Amino acid sequence: MPKLSKSFINQIKDLTYKDKTFTDDEIKKLAIRIQGNKKSWILTYRMNGKQEKITLGSIFERTPDDIRAEAIELLDMINKGINPKDQCNKALNILTVSELCDLYMAEGVAHKKASTLAIDNGRITHHIKPIIGNIRLSELNTGDIERMMIKIMNGDVKSAQEQCKKRGRSRVTGGHEAANRTVQLLSAILNFARNRELLDKNPAKFVKRPKTQAKETFLTPQDIKLLGATLKHPFYCDKKEAINAIKLLLLTGCRKNEILSLRWDFIDFDNQCFRFPDTKTGKQNRVFGTAALKLLKELQSKNPSPWVFPATKGSGHYIGLPKIFNRICSSKLEDDFADNATTFYKPDITLHSLRHTFASISNLLGYNDFTIAGMLGHHIRSTTARYSHNVDSALISAANQVSEYINNLLEGYDNELISK
């Protein structure tokens, strides 16, 4: 019998069986049960001469150390004649949706990144708790969840529309996308409750969520030229950190936080790649082109900080980019430029649109989806690639051309499409 450790879980997480159980070699009554794609911790015991089984959660939600600690506590209860299932039934009768959310955030999110947890916490705080938080879990039904969804769609969350923050107030407006994502999160929380045998079924499963359309906003070559001219405008001359960060985002196609939290020791100048210790898809090598290389070397010569973009105040990295970028996209400068061209005004553009722009320009230059995905770091490459420290020379060549093309536009030059 194996020890049900983290390494063992990594070995079985992609396996599927109709019904397979792996028993722990230390806590004999603790096991992992696989039923298709469902993989759960279970504890088997006898109570009053009858065999009982209780589910402790998904292997993806909780660590082996947490499970072992809980299993020891439950076995101690069992030895004292207390049935954990009876305790679960009592909990179901008194547990509220708000309390379940707290339990989920404490014990059901080991598989999530900090940035995702921050978003989840916002949806719980602003939407779920104010609307249905006081409902007992045993009384929650599909209608309650549908009414919550409609309120969020209509922005009718009066008790949570303004939340205090360290600086100013956070206004919660709701909408179709917020409603869709909140119901999706609530469904995950209720599935967590099912895995803990606190619920027989998930009432969110039957809710028809509103359809949303993904916004694939990006800049055209002409837009990039206008943005480049705007970044050179005297009005923004004191925003060097923001200007260079915007340029690097455009030249690399990286995500906002990947660039803002970039450290010099993440950069392999010789092989033209970022060696990120962690990204949205895990540890990753990401190529960048010659135009980005030139900008990075210029920044390095003037920057003693460990961060590529150090904070303007304090010792961390720069965080003020979204506010300045929004101002750049939403403000019309009155004096225009030397050629009296139309100023850059794109209020619907976000920082993530720069990543879409890199992909759009790559497509314009004739690169296929797999090459673009490789430059962007999308998680579609082979399993063996995760263990390779070498950088694909074809991706570097593509990144060189795309970054030079974008850089020429930023500098105000017209490009001619170059045949690869």
The reply to whether 248 and 270 lie within a common domain is yes
**Residue ending a domain, choose from 30, 59, 85:** 85
Q: How confident is the model at residue 87 (pLDDT cuts 50, 70, 90)?
A: low
**Residue ending a domain, choose from 206, 237, 253:** 206
Range of the domain at 235: 221-410
Our count of domains for the chain comes to: 3
d(C-alpha 211, C-alpha 125), whole Å: 23
If you ran DSSP here, which 8-state letter would residue 243 be given?
H
Sheet containing 284-287: give its strands across: 267-268, 273-276, 284-287
Least confident of 208-212, 294-298, 318-322, 338-342: 338-342
Is 216 a domain residue? no
Are 328 and 230 in contact by the 8 Å Cβ rule? The answer is yes
Is 185 a domain residue? yes
Is 334 a domain residue? yes
The reply to whether 59 and 121 lie within a common domain is no
Is 420 a domain residue? no
Is 419 a domain residue? no
89, HSE (Cβ side, Cα atoms, 13 Å)? 5
Give the model's pLDDT for residue 334.
56
d(C-alpha 122, C-alpha 76), whole Å: 37
Q: DSSP letters of 134-195?
A: TSBGGG--HHHHHHHHHHHHTT--GGGSEEE-SSSEEEP---HHHHHHHHHHHHHHHHHHHH
Report pLDDT digits (tens) over 125-176.
999 999 999 998 888 999 999 999 999 998 876 544 444 444 445 566 778 8
Is 79 a domain residue? yes
**Residue ending a domain, choose from 145, 172, 206:** 206
d(C-alpha 255, C-alpha 241), whole Å: 16
Is 229 a domain residue? yes
CATH number of the domain residue 66 falls in = 3.30.160.390
Question: Which of 90-99, 361-370, 381-390 is predicted most confidently?
Answer: 361-370
Instruction: Name the phi and psi angles at 350, rounded to 5.
Output: -120, 175
Rounded to two decimals, the pTM is 0.65
Report which of 350, 353, 373 is spatially closest to residue 363, judged by C-alpha positions.
Answer: 373
17, HSE (Cβ side, Cα atoms, 13 Å)? 11
CB atoms within 10 A of CB 292: 28
Tally the residues of the chain: 420
The reply to whether 197 and 246 lie within a common domain is no
238, HSE (Cβ side, Cα atoms, 13 Å)? 2
The reply to whether 282 and 400 lie within a common domain is yes
Report pLDDT digits (tens) over 37-75.
888 888 899 888 888 888 887 888 778 888 888 889 888
The reply to whether 269 and 354 lie within a common domain is yes
Q: How confident is the model at residue 91 (pLDDT cuts 50, 70, 90)?
A: low
d(C-alpha 8, C-alpha 229), whole Å: 55
If you ran DSSP here, which 8-state letter would residue 333 be given?
-
The reply to whether 233 and 346 lie within a common domain is yes
Q: How confident is the model at residue 212 (pLDDT cuts 50, 70, 90)?
A: low
pLDDT of 6 > 90? The answer is no
CATH number of the domain residue 357 falls in = 1.10.443.10
If you ran DSSP here, which 8-state letter would residue 126 be given?
I
Q: Which residues of 204-214 are buried (b: 16+ CB within 10 A; e: fewer)?
A: beebebeeeee
Is 45 a domain residue? yes
CATH number of the domain residue 179 falls in = 1.10.150.130
The reply to whether 70 and 108 lie within a common domain is no
Give the model's pLDDT for residue 88.
63
Are 131 and 123 in contact by the 8 Å Cβ rule? The answer is no
The reply to whether 147 and 267 lie within a common domain is no
Tokens 């049960």, residue located = 33
* Helices (H), ranges, 197-238: 221-231
d(C-alpha 170, C-alpha 162), whole Å: 6
The reply to whether 226 and 159 lie within a common domain is no
The reply to whether 231 and 356 lie within a common domain is yes
* First-residue to last-residue Cα distance in the chain: 56
The reply to whether 230 and 311 lie within a common domain is yes
Report pLDDT digits (tens) over 8-35.
888 888 888 888 899 988 888 999 999 8
Report pLDDT digits (tens) over 257-304.
999 999 999 999 999 999 998 877 778 899 999 999 999 999 999 888
d(C-alpha 353, C-alpha 360), whole Å: 10
The reply to whether 240 and 186 lie within a common domain is no
Report which of 412, 252, 232, 248 is spatially closest to residue 328, judged by C-alpha positions.
Answer: 232
